[in-house]
């Protein structure tokens, strides 16, 4: 299962999109901790192990998609 996380960065025309192997609850908890003022940085890890660190002061919005398994092949809809 993977969770798609989209982070809007202020002063940037593009958003950061991460496919995280963590559950949506774990990702949401990390975001809530960072935005709650307990941390100056939001750190997330994608499915391949790459780490992304965003300063909390630059976050415009965060969208967390629901957990769902990827479908592969011609019959995937």
CATH number, domain of 10, equals 2.30.30
* Higher pLDDT pick, 77 / 8: 8
Q: Domain containing 36: what range?
A: 3-64
Calculate the dihedral angle through the C-alpha atoms of 66, 39, 52, 55, rounding to the nearest 10 degrees. 110
pLDDT for res 77:
57
Q: Is residue 73 part of a domain?
A: no
Residue 53 has pLDDT above 60, yes or no: yes
Q: Is residue 72 part of a domain?
A: no
Q: Is residue 39 part of a domain?
A: yes
7-21, 37-51, 61-75: range with lowest mean pLDDT: 61-75
Q: Is residue 70 part of a domain?
A: no
Q: Is residue 21 part of a domain?
A: yes
Q: Is residue 29 part of a domain?
A: yes
Q: Is residue 77 part of a domain?
A: no
Q: What is the mean pLDDT of the chain?
A: 88
Average confidence (pLDDT) over 39-66: 93
Number of domains the chain contains? 1
Residue 72 has pLDDT above 90, yes or no: no
Largest CA distance in the chain: 46
Q: Is residue 75 part of a domain?
A: no
For residue 41, the Cα-to-chain-centroid distance in whole angstroms is 13
Q: Residue 27: is it exposed, middle or buried by C-beta count within 10 angstroms (0-12/13-18/19+)? A: buried
């Amino acid at each position: 299962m993977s969770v798609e996380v989209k982070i809007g960065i202020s002063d940037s025309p593009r958003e950061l999109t991460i496919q995280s192997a963590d559950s949506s609850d774990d990702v949401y908890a990390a975001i809530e901790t960072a935005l709650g003022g307990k941390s100056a940085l939001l750190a997330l890890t994608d499915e391949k192990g790459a780490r992304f660190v965003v300063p909390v002061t630059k976050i415009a919005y965060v969208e967390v998609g629901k957990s769902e398994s990827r479908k592969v092949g011609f019959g995937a809809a």
